[in-house]
Structure 1
Amino acid sequence: MAEHTFGVTGVGMYTPVGTRAPATCAAIRAGISRVRPWPHFSFADEPINVGAVAADGRDASWCEKAVPITRRPIYEALWQAGLYSHDWHGRRVGLYFSTPPSQRIGVLPEFYSDFGACLGDLWDELAGNDQIHLVEHAHVGGAVALAAACEALSKGEIDAAVVAGFESALDSPYLDELLAQGRLHTADRSGGIIPGEGAAAFVLETAAGARGRQAAVLARVVAVALEQEAAGWSPSLPSQAGALSRALQTALAVPPGASEYRRLMVDHTGERWRVREWALAEPRALGGLPLGWQLWHPVDCVGDLGAAFVPFAVAWAATEFTRRNAEPGGTIVGAMNDAGERAVLTLMPR
């Protein structure tokens, strides 16, 4: 990160509250929620509440929905960045795509390969190449993808990158598994996952590359920090927030420092262990933030965005920077997954 400055030049979203990034951000800022009963799955004769983007709210696997839903924010991000037609701009654009683990129900290897083939066809149409990198790290995947994209840009392997992610938990077999594990939000279990669905994408370039083609930079990536909890950790075990605290400390040690960040975006899902871990990390790593800093999370409006969270958060922050809806200062994005991986990235206005 020290050798190059990286900027976001385009963003896209498709969520339960909006089909494009500006509409989604305006709806969340207004507190509009599209979490509502879903007729395809119930517990104790009551439908569970979910956030769904599909017009028909259909019950289908992650792999069936991924490309049809994600193509829209990818189009939007490329269009805003001025990289929509590869025949015209002639630049090498790579795709870094955040997904759930391929062993998850609904994301099984035999279906995952079909998803990869469909994504390849889409990317050949949009970018004219096969530079696709699938990142199976769930909530943390967008940050891992961002780090990989930064490395490829630094080495000159690509001229720009699209970092995208998609999540859909609206699949009855997967919801059955969450229910059996005691992890699903139901009428008698308030501390559980609120299933969500959505996709987001952003275009990443070096600052020099963006200047060279006179593209507007919407947000600047300052730091990306990745950490891992000790072996054997799981959401059911108490956490001391060691990995999350280290990731925060590492990211906030990079200039301009903690005092310049006024917002923290987190990937709350409805489960209590995430809230407890952030509560433990706050006094250790966030003491340098200015008084009155804000905590932002989208779960109440759209449900758990899973593998799409980090691309969503970057697009959200960049949109708020550009429209000057947030107070001056930077944004911290924090994510964690069930495998004990923790990620923190920091963003500043252009």
Structure 2
Amino acid sequence: MAVDSLIDARSLSWLDSRMRLKTSDVTDGLIPGEAACILVVSKRPIAEGALRLRGLGLAIETATASNEEPFRADGLGAALKAALAEAGVQMHEIAFRLSDVAGESYAFEELVLAQLRNMRQTRPEQPVWHAADCMGDCGAAAGLIQFAWAEQAFKRGYAPGDIAALHG
């Protein structure tokens, strides 16, 4: 289960004081959102067309929007590399990606850098879907929103391919 909200006075004040809240004066900021999600995990599929997690990668990103460390997307790049290796998939085989990016330019730069570090063969197109476009930054719930969106895309036939990468 994941529940998060950035729509409260304390969070909004914190974001605003750090120039991270999108306003008429700050164009490189995020739009706050809120969501709650539950992911059911089972040894065997419990529904037809259930998603399969083929690889998982974890890493720590030390450079953030809040510090002065050089930004190279080391964390996301390493996590993506580990997930691809565990899944036995190459980056160019990924049809589309779902991400928790939410409006701040450094997050979009991180996506590109992580992709470049892992792409060994070109691919004509690899769209990135980000739910924050529709519902704002949902923080901890963003990952489960990605699972739900991917599941619906495959189930309803609008996914642009057979393999998706979810990251953030």
TM-score between both structures, scaled by the size of structure 1: 0.44
Greater RCO (CA < 8 Å, at least 6 residues apart): 2
Whether the 8 Å CA contact 2:97–2:167 is kept in 1: the answer is yes
The answer on whether the counterparts of 1:245 and 1:284 sit within 8 Å (CA) in structure 2 is yes
Q: Is the Cα contact below 8 Å between 2:90 and 2:119 reproduced in 1?
A: no
Which residue pairs with 1:294 in the alignment?
A: 127
CA distance in 1, matches of 2:80, 2:122: 12
The DSSP-based 3-state class of the residue aligned with 1:325 is: coil
Corresponding residue SS for 1:246: helix
* Aligned counterpart, 2:7: 170
- 2:151 corresponding residue in structure 1: 318
Cα distance in 2 for partners of 1:201, 1:329 equals 24
Structure 2 CA distance for aligned equivalents of residues 311 and 303 of structure 1? 14
C-alpha distance in 2 between matches for 1:289 and 1:299: 27
CA contact (8 A) 2:92 2:121 kept: yes
In the other structure, the counterpart of 2:59 is 227
Q: 1:167·1:198 contact (CA, 8 Å) conserved in 2?
A: yes
**Structure with the higher strand share, 1 or 2:** 1
**Which residue matches 1:180?**
17
AA aligned to 1:183 is R
Asked if structure 1 preserves the Cα contact closer than 8 Å seen for 2:101 and 2:107, the reply is yes
1:305 corresponds in structure 2 to 138
Query: Does the aligned pair in 2 maintain the 1:197–1:304 contact within 8 Å?
Result: yes
Counterpart Cα distance in 2 of 1:287 and 1:303: 33
* Superposed CA RMSD: 1.8
* TM-score with structure 2 setting the length: 0.88
Equivalences, count: 165
Specify the alignment match of 1:92 in structure 2. Answer: none
User: Which structure 1 residue ranges, 5 or more long, are not aligned?
Assistant: 1-163, 336-350
Question: How much does 1:287 deviate?
Answer: 4.0
User: Which aligned pairs between 1:1-350 and structure 2 lie closer than 5 A?
Assistant: 164-207=1-44, 210=45, 215-230=47-62, 233-236=63-66, 237=68, 238-253=70-85, 254-288=87-121, 290-335=123-168
Structure 1 residue 322, shift from structure 2 partner: 1.3
Letter in 1 for 2:136: G
CA distance in 2, matches of 1:287, 1:334: 19
Q: Percent identity?
A: 31
Q: Which of the pair has more CA radius of gyration?
A: 1
Distance in 1, matches of 2:137 and 2:120, equals 28
Q: Matched residue of 2:83: which SS? A: helix
